[in-house]
Structure 1
Amino acid sequence: MVEFCKKITQSNIFKNFITVVILIAAILVGISTYDQFSLRHQSILSFLNTLILLVFILEVFIKVIAEGNKPWKYFMDPWNVFDFSIVFAAFLPFGGSSVAVLRLLRLLRVLKLINALPKLQMLVGALLRSIPSMFYVSILLSLLFYIYAVAGVFFFGENDPVHFRNLQTSMLSLFRVVTLEDWTDIMYINMYGCENYGYDSIMSRCTASTGNKWGAAIFFVSFVLIGTMIFLNLFIGVIMTGMDEARSDVEAKNKPKKSVDLLELESKVDEISEMISRLKIKNDS
């Protein structure tokens, strides 16, 4: 039974079948967003969701049985723990909010696709590895935001109270600038003054129009260059480093398997050569 379950879990047919079931589950989650269609076909959709849950339960049982006398080894793989958590959560009582929670849990089934596709696992692993380095990059970016936000309040607070009236509003406006969402509008307001640009519908808030062409241009262009170009490349570099580390880990895990396969092949070749030599001796005699 154990060997049979091992063969099932290692077969490509089983892996592809689970992938297809996950994709069907994802489609069913999307269909549930159409209320009228869901109500008309409620019985069919309920049956399919139950069937998908049974398939996931069966997958867990097969993988646990495949571990033989050490079923706890199944839980040593974080991806298996993730799969088990999604299946187990479907049996928890949620009271009055059960419908919303059930929909959320069905949505989480889509994430099982990560476990079904090794390349996605490597990508997620790379992102998780990058979190510590991304944290330090985020600290640098926060310092940059803080310095420019304080400077923005000092330089543009009177001219542009909508975007730079205080520190928190200034930081929010700079977030808009760094995402390049109409950032030139904010720059032009402070280049030409609020009475000449951008405050047409809210002219009552423009009380002290003082444009500064060169100062505003240098301020915003430098912030975009540093915040968007440099820090974006830093984030990409950190993620790429995480990708290389994740790829090297995958290769390191696969190397022992290859060496074991080579040893088995060498032993079989030796056995065949011995059998051939024995046959030759018998023929000679």
Structure 2
Amino acid sequence: MILLNTITLAMRYNDQPESYSYVLNVLNIIFTALFTVEFVLKLFAFRFKNYFGDPWNCFDFFIVLGSLIDIVFEQINPHESKGKATVRPTFLRLFRVMRLVKLLSRGEGIRTLLWTFLKSFQDFYEKKEKI
């Protein structure tokens, strides 16, 4: 599910058709709902103290919370202007891609890749602020 969610987040492009945007938004809501159900089930199974005692569970919680906030903002202020969607990746959506790290966290190579991703992400926003 994490990989499919990441792929759907990466499928946005500039001037995409309204129907395409709608499908991606529905998929986003479905994935967020599934991850929210996972969070609730794990919280009931592990109880509050044990759930939040694991750093990966805390990471998942903040990703789910951020995803829910992202959906609320998307519903309040859609990124559509006259029927044409624009690509405006939010920090919350980009951060969700880091869920892949959870899947691949065991290797040294993925740590290097994550570090490179974080540095390039930081450089991207520093360059954007200068413009």
TM-score of the pair, normalised by structure 1 = 0.31
Match of 2:40 in 1: 61
1:39-54 correspondence runs (5 A) = 39-54=18-33
- Which amino acid in structure 2 is aligned with residue 29 of structure 1? L
Greater relative contact order structure (CA < 8 Å, 6+ sep): 2
- Which amino acid in structure 2 is aligned with residue 23 of structure 1? L
Identity %: 30
Partner Cα separation in structure 2 for residue 50 and residue 103 of structure 1: 15
TM-score of the pair, normalised by structure 2 = 0.61
Partner of 2:15, secondary structure, is helix
Q: How many residues align?
A: 103
Q: Quote how far apart the aligned CAs of 1:123 are.
A: 5.1
Cα RMSD, aligned residues only? 3.3
Match of 1:106 in 2: 93
Match of 2:66 in 1: 89
Matched, 1:22 2:2: yes
Deviations 1:41-95 (A, max 9, x none): 122111100001011101111221221xx32211111111111111112333669
CA contact (8 A) 1:38 1:45 kept: no
Structure 1 segments of 4 or more deviating over 6 A?
95-98
Deviations 1:201-248 (A, max 9, x none): xxxxxxxxxxxxxxxxxxxxxxxxxxxxxxxxxxxxxxxxxxxxxxxx
Of 65, 72, 79, the residue aligned with 2:56 is: 79
Partner Cα separation in structure 2 for residue 27 and residue 101 of structure 1: 16
Partner Cα separation in structure 1 for residue 108 and residue 29 of structure 2: 27
- Which amino acid in structure 2 is aligned with residue 25 of structure 1? N
CA contact (8 A) 1:22 1:112 kept: yes
CA contact (8 A) 2:36 2:64 kept: yes
